[in-house]
Structure 1
């Protein structure tokens, strides 16, 4: 038994209303169960309850056992002085407010509807992956889609937080923050944080000044992550090393390096050298990148926007001084999909919010045109009958698994509540 189940029972009135009494035998009539706050302080605010012949207005606190009141030290907290009813699963001790007045207690164990209890026990029975794994595919699809939309925007709000934090750091320099977020995502999971630190160590004003020569951008980015060989015989490596030294001196940049980048377990097209060469070419070719990204709303146009490759040297190299068969090394569609999902959509969402604009439907339509992501979580949902048709659905399912299922928040999840109502 968990406390959130009692919250659900009280909020949705899933107990026998007639003949309620306190543990001391006083008759209870519930006029209003109150507002569920989901924050610090009592659980339900502004309830109205008749106890005996006295009508009370105030707050309701819910615990599994009466003694939890003292376990949580509510007797010393002024926020709980206005509690008019203590609702518990089982009563094990009388409860007093800070100034020794006793709080009436309702023990719900005897009043909860048995069908509700049975459904709850079924929902929280042993699982192999998530609690509702054997029931989730039975949920009405219209209802499921509405919950996925809510989850999608919850995930967007979470992804907006680091963008907003970077905006505070840069005095609302949107172009700088876009560069930081793109750099992070170019690094993927392995090198993402390293690329982000690298990008933040370079004032974006320098990117603006140096982007007219792609070699200067390569020298700057690769020099900052210590990818330029010191004693290379390769002419291009020597040139970038010299350019890096000159640019660092010209702009008075510190030579301290961030952590070493990782090549291990990456396919060659994802080597940090190639991703940085692509990032450099992107900022060389698209000198109004911020404006273009804000103005682009279809995947077809995003594929065109990111239709850039690498400088000629990297067409037949994956690493310095190691020649390979020639390949243009343009962005793959799957990589552009990842950029749009993880960087551009959260960025457009945050920017629109800052401008007071509503673009929710536009972002939903865009995400519905992107192929579904492939990972172990999405595969597991598929095994239990929940198949994804697009990236909107996979992003929503990731939010569901990571923020609800992993924390056993079944009774804060619309799907869990729907299953309880069956």
Structure 2
């Protein structure tokens, strides 16, 4: 492989996973090398690997290791002017195009890897690196053992939850630690998925829970507040019910000094009627009317059956024959469906439980978050369907969440060297001594 096509990150991977021929190692000046420890990988400033232990000839050296594609990059990066690099005991490069000298004038021992990397690993990396496929390693996936997938998916799921938790932590800080308001806003967000999530969360933020709590026993007033704040009670209506809501809202808006969100945020195009924002707002109101619907109660629910019962809003009779205000429909129940409950559990409930569990050191809540995802069927969306075409497992929501994270955070950014599947593919060529040119 040409030097230009070997990125430094690939050499980091080869070194830290020891995917090179380990015997008959010599410096470019002919000194024998015996590795005791390749060092600790350093992602921060300074040498690439710390605290390595290396025998050069008969002397044991303890220090750091710096890796470059070409040796001349030592000078291109200005390491000769940085005292932190005086601790480097071995320069590992793909090609030594010039010798390197430390500040004391001594020549830095150099190990060339150009002929020490298994050809199969080089070829696999080159193919993946130049792949135009959205999933770069697609053609190899059938070879990856299923058992290998299992551990990687577990880790990806935790990464996915942790990324959601970081965002929730910022929102919780903005709300000054108000878990109930956060729970209310994120539930509204979840009810609005996929296209009205932001608008629903804006509505919840504009209609504080501390106000709505006063109307939990007054469904008409509670709906009036939410629909009015959504900007959906403007104009004239034919039905008596929205007229009532409109009258109630005019009074409540003045009483609580409320400002509605712009009505233009709501989207209806290409939505099924069951996902119309009017019905979702009515369902949110139905949840808020329940005395036991709060974050504290959620923490006590330990089974999915109990969760399904708990997440069953009792909405007003008007909505049995309407999906939108002033627009009649067939008379059918408008309760939350199983799919919407799963959407809420995946995108709202599990991340909240995981965050709260981590903050109060309750591993049972963190396990509940992952166990519930493992008990739900896998999701069906564009990203998940791309994986379903492959041998990779998508049996549960835990699997689909893990694979979504894999695609968005690894495949899309070509982080194949950080992906355990990519590492398996690149590293599957055996580093056997009989393949080592220097062993002949």
- For 1:14, the equivalent position in structure 2 comes to 19
Matched, 1:392 2:401: no
Aligned position for 1:83: 88
Determine which of 371, 374, 382 is the counterpart of 2:380. Answer: 374
User: Any gaps of 5 or more consecutive residues in structure 1?
Assistant: none
Match of 1:358 in 2: 363
Indicate which of 300, 307, 310 corresponds to 1:295: 300
Between Structure 1 and Structure 2, how many residues are aligned? Answer: 422
Structural mapping, 1:81-230, within 5 Å: 81-95=86-100, 103-121=108-126, 123-124=128-129, 126=131, 128-230=133-235
> Secondary structure, in 3 states, of the residue corresponding to 2:405?
helix
CA offset digits 1:189-217 (Å, max 9, x no partner) = 31212222222233321122232222222
In the alignment, does 2:285 pair up with 1:277? no
Gaps of 5+ in 2: 1-5, 429-440
Match of 1:407 among 382, 400, 413: 413
Q: CA RMSD in A?
A: 2.6
The 2-side partners of 1:223 and 1:99 are apart by: 76
Other-structure match for 2:349: 344
> What's the offset of the Cα at 1:352?
1.0
C-alpha distance in 2 between matches for 1:75 and 1:190: 54
Following superposition, the deviation at residue 54 of structure 1 comes to 5.2
State the distance in 2 between where 1:152 and 1:129 align: 20
Deviation of 1:105 (Å): 3.2
Shift, 1:356, TM fit: 0.5
Q: 2:33 aligns with which of 28, 37, 50?
A: 28
CA distance in 1 between counterparts of 2:251 and 2:85 reads 65
Structure 2 distance, partners of 1:143, 1:386, is 10
**Could you tell me how far 1:123 is from its partner in structure 2?**
4.8
Question: Structure 1 residues 209-218 or 165-174, which shifts more?
Answer: 209-218
- Tell me how far apart the structure 1 counterparts of residues 345 and 315 of structure 2 sit (CA, whole Å): 20
TM-score with structure 2 setting the length: 0.87
Shift of 1:260: 1.9
CA–CA separation in structure 2 for the residues paired with 1:87 and 1:215: 73
Ranked by relative contact order (alpha carbons within 8 Å, sequence separation 6 or more), the top structure is 2
Which deviates further from its counterpart, 376-385 or 262-271? Answer: 376-385
- Asked if 1 retains the 8 angstrom alpha-carbon contact of 2:230 and 2:260, the reply is no
Give the distance between the partners of 1:81 and 1:258, measured in 2 at CA: 64
